[in-house]
Structure 1
């Protein structure tokens, strides 16, 4: 189905690997188009309860965009390319199902932006993060100026984007960009174990947590007001009845997403 991605669905978890190892898994327009289709599958396939985005091999998650595609673009075409990335990455960020970035090497430029669009990030010890676009006469174009600032704060984000420096996995964790740093061989098992834990929780509640957390960073929404509405909406679900019953009966809840 895909030429630049490899996917595997196992135990309700879809693993998406950017599969261009000869190009350090760099993002080109085909990767973006196929990633959009994979995200549609996450939304639409009831058998998928969560997803992992990673890169093929051990050297790179996504080492950036495919710069060769930039050389002939006009200003308008550049804006359209960025818009395409914005739409896809916003779909990832807004997914009602958890999507984890398993960063297994270089996450630079568009790769760092892809990782930041995921709900949170786990990194291998050899991972490196950065937004080096200024070295090419560019700025981050897939939401990086916004998400990096939201995640690490304005001062640190500006320093990273202005210098083009890279962060080690340990530095990224200390800055709040990464949740966990593990050995390379433990990366996917760690992501899977977290998703398996999330799968035991109420899926409608998970989706509402994502929606409300995103609202906290949206100037056009009142996150507190949204939380009130979403909290109230939970009381109309069978999942809340099941969760409350399981709690009082001291048993494991069996949520159905209803």
Structure 2
């Protein structure tokens, strides 16, 4: 019963390991997951993260309602806006995140998925923002990201009806990149991660940040930010290495500097 964290060759694998509870998250697991995301953000040796769930039943069923119902945070705690930050709650992680969805992806699991960048799932995966059926609504970015990432009518159906849907629908709507057999799930996610880790890390992180910030910026501001970021990167060692590698017809060895 834990949030497992393993990193190797620039790739961090985070596993929500609570299969007996469908990988639902209580206070303890939310805090451990928050620490895992901070580690990904702050460790320069980590270039990519992969998030998955333990077992074959569930990726993440969201919040463990038994630990939250009847125990709302104090008003003082509500003001601690940077405490216990999560990927889907606003923690800024510009390194790419790959989701390997091994089963049910519901409620808070779905809002977590919406905060990732590349997504692979098994054919039996199910998805849904089911909170309205329990008297609440999908927080931690649920109402925000789903309307940004999916067509309006589909997003409203998900938010307001709370129905679950299958992997075919997720693929058809562009919610996931690939649907693969179960035995290929983690290898497919890790293959994405290794390809991401091989690219220039500063450029990858800049591209992600610019793309996400474009949702809140006008075009002129976004174009200006591109110019500034590009000018900064032009003096980087990675740009020099990329140029040399191209001229020498070899794979570049980026250091993130």
TM-score, with normalisation over the residues of structure 2?
Answer: 0.91
The within-5 A match list for 1:132-211 is 132-211=130-209
Indicate the residue corresponding to 1:117 in structure 2. Answer: 115
Deviation at 1:90, TM superposition (A): 4.8
Taking the aligned partners of 1:115 and 1:133, their CA distance within structure 2 comes to: 15
Aligned pair in 2 of structure 1 residues 219, 140: CA closer, same or farther (>3 Å)? farther
1:9-65 deviation line (CA, Å, top 9, x unaligned): 233322111111111000211111101111121123333221111101011000121
**Residues 130 and 90 of structure 1: is their aligned pair in 2 closer, same or farther, counting only changes over 3 Å?**
closer
- C-alpha separation between the residues in 2 aligned to 1:111 and 1:179? 17
- Comparing 17-26 with 68-77, greater Cα deviation is found at 68-77
* Counterpart-to-counterpart distance in 2, 1:69 and 1:80: 17
Partner residue, 1:254: 253
Q: Secondary structure at the match of 1:100?
A: strand
- Contact 1:117-1:147 at 8 Å conserved across structures: yes
Task: Name the residue aligned to 2:71.
Answer: 73
The TM-score, its normalising length taken from structure 1, stands at 0.90
Q: Which has the higher helix share?
A: 1
1:230-245 matched pairs, under 5 angstroms = 230-245=229-244
| Contact 1:86–1:143 (8 Å) recurs in 2 | no
The alpha carbon displacement at 1:214 in A equals 0.7
Gaps of 5+ in 2: none
Instruction: State the distance in 1 between where 2:243 and 2:7 align.
Output: 31
Cα displacement (A) at 1:8:
2.1
Given that residues 39 and 92 in structure 1 are in contact (C-alpha distance below 8 angstroms), is that contact kept between their aligned partners in structure 2? no
Following superposition, the deviation at residue 174 of structure 1 comes to 1.0
Number of paired residues? 256
Moved more, 90-99 or 176-185: 90-99
SS at match of 2:50: strand
| Residue in structure 2 matched with residue 214 of structure 1 by the alignment | 212
Stretch of structure 1 that moved more, 45-54 or 13-22: 45-54
Question: Alignment RMSD, CA only?
Answer: 2.5
Distance apart, 1:84 and its partner CA = 7.0
- Distance, in Å, in 2 between the alignment partners of 1:199 and 1:252 is 13
Greater displacement, 31-40 / 83-92? 83-92
Aligned to 1:225: 224
- Corresponding residue to 1:21 among 7, 19, 22: 19
Give the drift of 1:86: 8.6
The change in CA–CA distance for 1:256 and 1:84 in structure 2 (over 3 A counts) is: closer
- Partner SS state of residue 88, structure 1: coil
The one of 33, 36, 48 aligned to 1:35: 33
